[in-house]
Amino acid sequence: MPRFISATPDSRLIPLPWETPLAEWPVELLVALPRGLSRHVVRFIKVGDDVYAAKEVIDHLARHEYRLLHDLMRLGTPSVEPIGIITERGVCGGVPLDPILITRHLQFSLPYRALFAPGVRPETVSRLLDAMVVLLARLHLIGFQWGDVSLSNILFRRDADTFAAYLVDAETGGMYPKLSDGQRHQDLEIARTNLYGDFLDLKAGGLLQEDLDPLQLVDLVQSRYYELWQELTGAEEFSGDQMGRIENRVRRLNALGFDIAELDIQTAADSSTIRIQPMVVDAGHHSRRLMRLTGLDTEENQARRILNDLDTYRWRTGQQHVDEAVAAHDWLTHVFQPVMDLVPADLRAKREPAQIFHEVLDYRWYAAQRQSRDVPMTEAAQGYVQDVLRCLPDEALNTESLLPIESRQLVNPYDPSQGYVEPGQTPPQDPWEDGVDQVAVASPFLDIDALRAKAAAEAAD
Ligand SMILES: Nc1ncnc2c1ncn2[C@@H]1O[C@H](COP(=O)(O)OP(=O)(O)O)[C@@H](O)[C@H]1O
Ligand SMILES: [Mg+2]
């Protein structure tokens, strides 16, 4: 009898066919959504209106990943949400079935293959790199060493004009009170190797522009990471008459989206020099402020943009002296909500509300430039819905896009993420699932057979 370990149990999961290997689950229970490459069997399963990701993985790794994802969530780090582990699934063909780790499908998330598919522009690549760098720095700040940074282990969500990156695969990670420089360098070395391979792969598939060089891209990731890390944690020394530099440092960090929780300030006995060093920094400066004022849960750059609009509204309506929270409530009911009310229900799966609002602001700006006049928000929202939103693909992957996958032929019925067979098309190869034997194993902790043997040996002891 299968056993469930979960902090947030969903009873609808209990009757699913856990005694069957995940790769053999009936397709009616699965949904075809784009995803990155995986070493394990990974499937998206649909329960009512919810979608979960299920990964068949050996026992101690499933538990390890579940706990780590839980810690990451508790610390507010962008990662997928762990739902539970199903163990004791019985025996199949004489071999005990590995546990299944369940995470909640991250709504509005885009695996890199979906982002790169339409032939991505260099600016977009640059923004994706920045999002990755911020994620890595955030993980390192809380003492998380990832051990397996790669494009397949990151999910992206739109964040105003940029992206926010989420961790999806924590299996190789470890949580420490504080990371040493060596541990961080190691993560960057792994990132370099994996990302270089990922970019070469995209290039070979014609998905990366010719002038984008994989080697330059990984160099950029590395140099941007070290710049950001220096800004977040580096010490600064200046003479006692330059006190303003303390405030400048705080402002610079805020502009990067971080808050200083502890700043160490040391002054020389004669006050001639001052040394400052941020000791604890928290990400989410703007999103926290917006959450406090309006209750809206957004990404960092969406929050930045919305806060600007809120400040402008306050000024335009002469509410500079009104309490900020009161003005924010006024803005919510008179600006934000009316825009959301103009979005027809059938188009809501296309973008998150905060992203829609950001795009309406952009639309209004361009309309105002074109027509040399002030365009009211409601007019801009109507125009945006008509001209932009209707034409966009769904990104929520909500119930409407989760039709059962029976009528068309899948490339691989056990792996819906490979899509449907098109006439005259050769099925794409997923090296991790199609020919595991031919794949050179880059690192010992990626070798599942070795892990299995080790676990068996440990169990026998
Ligand atoms: N909760 C989730 N939400 C969205 N996508 C997911 C989720 N979990 C896994 N995926 C997708 O499945 C892929 C493989 O999952 P991952 O945990 O990386 O497996 P593996 O350990 O075998 O590499 C990821 O690249 C990602 O695209
Ligand atoms: Mg992975």
Q: Which of 64, 115, 152, 445 most suits a substitution to test ligand 1, by most atoms within 8 Å of the C-beta?
A: 152
**Residue 123 CB contacts under 8 Å (≥ 6 apart), including other chains:** none
pLDDT class of 20 with cuts at 50, 70, 90 = very high
Positive or negative, the Cα torsion across 155, 37, 219, 144?
positive
Q: What are phi and psi of 103, to 5 degrees?
A: -125, 160
Query: Can you give the pLDDT at residue 73?
Result: 94
Give the model's confidence band at 439: pLDDT under 50 very low, under 70 low, under 90 confident, else very high.
very low
**Residue 219 pLDDT level (bands cut at 50, 70, 90):** very high
Ligand 1 centroid to Cα of residue 23, in Å, is 15
Half-sphere CA count of 90, side-chain side, radius 13 A: 10
pLDDT in tens, 221-255: 999 999 999 999 999 999 988 989 999 999 999 99
**Per-residue confidence (pLDDT) for residue 413, from 0 to 100:** 44
Phi and psi (nearest 5°) for 131? -60, -40
Q: What is the mean pLDDT of the chain?
A: 86
Q: Residue 40 CA: which ligand is closest? A: 1
Alpha carbon 235 to chain centroid, angstroms: 30
Write out the DSSP string of 23-74: GG--GGGB--------SSEEEEEEETTEEEEEEE--HHHHHHHHHHHHHHHH
Please, which pLDDT band fits residue 99 given cuts at 50, 70 and 90?
very high
Between 33 and 329, where is the model more confident? Answer: 329
Smallest CA separation from ligand 1 atom 25, residue: 36
Section 374-391 average pLDDT: 93
Atom of ligand 1 nearest to the CA of 171: 21
Percent of the chain with pLDDT over 90: 69
Counting from 1 in the atom list of ligand 1, the atom nearest the Cα of 41 is 22
Phi, psi of 163 (to 5 degrees): -130, 155
Domains of the chain: 3-105+399-449 (3.30.200.120), 110-233 (1.10.510.10), 236-283 (no CATH), 286-391 (no CATH)
Within 6 Å (CB) of ligand 1, which residues are found? 35-36, 38-40, 42, 53, 55, 80, 103-106, 109, 111, 152-153, 155, 168-169, 171
pTM over 0.75: yes
CA distance 68 to 173: 8
pLDDT digits (tens, 9 = 90+) for 117-167: 666 788 889 999 999 999 999 999 999 999 999 999 999 999 998 999 999
Residue 409 has pLDDT above 80, yes or no: no
> Which of 30-34, 202-206, 367-371 holds the top average pLDDT?
367-371
CB within 8 Å of 35: residues ≥ 6 apart: 42, 44, 53, 111, 113, 417
Q: Which residues surround ligand 2, an ion (CB under 5 A)?
A: 153, 169
Q: Quick check: 428 pLDDT over 50? A: no
When computed from its CA atoms, the radius of gyration of the chain, rounded to whole angstroms, is 24
Nearest to 310 by CA among 288, 334, 275, 285: 334
Res 111: pLDDT = 84
The torsion of the CA quartet 188, 194, 199, 200, rounded to 10 degrees, works out to 130
- The residue whose C-alpha atom lies closest to atom 24 belonging to ligand 1 is 36
In whole angstroms, give the CA distance from residue 158 to residue 146: 23
Average pLDDT over residues 416-435: 47
Mutate to test the pocket of ligand 1, among 60, 83, 169 (most ligand atoms within 8 A of CB): 169
Distance, CA of 319 to CA of 91 (rounded, Å): 68
Q: What is the pLDDT of residue 448?
A: 56
pLDDT category of residue 9 using cuts at 50, 70 and 90: confident
